[in-house]
Amino acid sequence: MKKNIYPLTFTPVFKDYIWGGRNLESKFGRKLPPGIVAESWEISGHPSSPTRVDNGSLAKKTLLEVLDLLGLDLVGNHSQSMLDRGKFPVIIKLLDANSPLSVQVHPKDDYANKHENGELGKTEMWYILHSQPGARLIYGLNPGVTPDSFREHLEAGTLEKCLHYLPVQAGDAIFIPAGSIHAIMDGIVLTEVLQNSDTTYRVYDWNRVGADGKPRPLHIDKAMDVINFRQVEPGPYPVELLEENDHFKRECITSCNYFNVEKFTFKQENNLFKGDCNGSTFEIWGVVSGQGQINWADQPVDLSAIRFVLLPAALGEFEIKATSPATFLRIYVPTQS
């Protein structure tokens, strides 16, 4: 057994952006600081908001410090390129959209590297945890929108005529590749899996002001450089059934070069999944409904919705056990092409 290799849990970092609320507390029982909470960064190695380990021998160390200490034993050889850059590959967040987020877009890696001081691009996915009746997202464009017509509508204050609205409900998975124009609208709580980046280009912010009483900055020229105008009326990610047996149903709900996300549905108490972190990639498991347990080396980690655990790439064999009917998300880095 390697030193400091065990399932890692973290203390989240909270963000008080103006569109947040208290739904993580009222609907999911999370302990929150006073005031507005828009985002809970659950697992993060981003320099602006690194999360700290809250269990075991590495307690109080940031994920960046753990990455420096464990290297490939933490991330695995699928993430060698990210390790060479000193970056943990992904961030896991919870978002409470109590009012609409800005209409925005994220760049790809090459653009961000050139224009944002070597930052990564930002491809992400959303798993909807809760939605009010009639909830929807802005995702992609309507037919016929061009860069010229988009800018014309933006200047005329009629941008909504360009934007594709997608109704959503709990359990939907939405893949947001870099270049997607998007916005989370009000009445939605979701889990977000994303590249290790905080680069966002705002296009429109509903004419509101920030906490300082001033409009938040827009980044229209950069946004116009990176918007994918070929992305017309996209829908949810097409779920792929990977495996089904007496214990669980396993589905792929996002697959891309940066991360894969799988959904495990355990219908009964004591249903099991046996896995193996064999050095190729870390795995992040999160309980998004019900209760479960990570069993490894006689050191069980209990998880209740909504809670995530990071399994280092060198962990070896482990077991996921549902202690009630439960739904888990599993996040890992695929083989790099």
Direct distance between the N- and C-terminal alpha carbons of the chain, in angstroms, rounded to an integer: 31
Task: Express each pLDDT in 76-97 by its tens digit.
Answer: 999 999 999 999 999 999 999 9
| Structure letter (DSSP) for residue 198 | -
Model confidence, pTM: 0.96
Task: Express each pLDDT in 117-173 by its tens digit.
Answer: 999 999 999 999 999 999 999 999 999 999 999 999 999 989 999 999 999 999 999
Domain ranges, ordered by start, for the chain: 10-226, 240-332
Separation between Cα atoms, residue 294 and residue 301, nearest integer Å? 5
Reading phi first (left if > 0) and then psi (alpha if -120 to 50, else beta), residue 206 is in: left
Cβ proximity of 99 and 205 under 8 Å = no
Give me the pLDDT at residue 28, please.
Answer: 93
Facing residues of 131 across strands?
A: 188
Lookup: tokens for 236: 């949810």
> 202 an active-site residue?
yes
Tell me the residue length of the chain: 337
**Interval 226-240 mean pLDDT:** 97
Percent of the chain having pLDDT more than 70? 99
- Cis before 174 (ω within 30): no
| Structure letter (DSSP) for residue 161 | G
Lookup: tokens for 160: 């909504």
User: Who contacts 294 (Cβ-Cβ below 8 Å, separation ≥6)?
Assistant: 7, 285, 300, 301, 303, 309, 311, 318, 319, 320, 321
CATH topology of domain 240-332: Jelly Rolls (2.60.120)
Separation between Cα atoms, residue 44 and residue 122, nearest integer Å? 14
Give me the pLDDT at residue 1, please.
Answer: 67
Reply yes or no on whether the pLDDT at 211 is more than 80: no
Q: Are strands 326-332 and 260-266 parallel, antiparallel or unpaired?
A: antiparallel
Reply yes or no on whether the pLDDT at 251 is more than 90: yes
25, 30, 34, 37: CA torsion to nearest 10? -70
Angle at CA 249, nearest 5°, toward 244 and 254?
115
Q: How confident is the model at residue 337 (pLDDT cuts 50, 70, 90)?
A: low
Q: How does DSSP assign 42-90, residue by residue?
A: EE---TTS--EE-SGGGTT-BHHHHHHHHTHHHH-GGGHHHHHTT--SE
Of 136, 202, 250, 330, the catalytic one is 202
**Interval 49-63 mean pLDDT:** 96
Mean pLDDT of the residues in the chain? 95
CATH of domain 10-226: 2.60.120.10
- Phi, psi (rounded to 5 degrees) for 198: -130, 30
The b-or-e profile of 281-306 (16+ CB within 10 A means b, else e) is bbbbbbbbbbbbbbbbeeeebebebb
Cβ proximity of 210 and 216 under 8 Å = yes
Lookup: tokens for 318: 């482990």
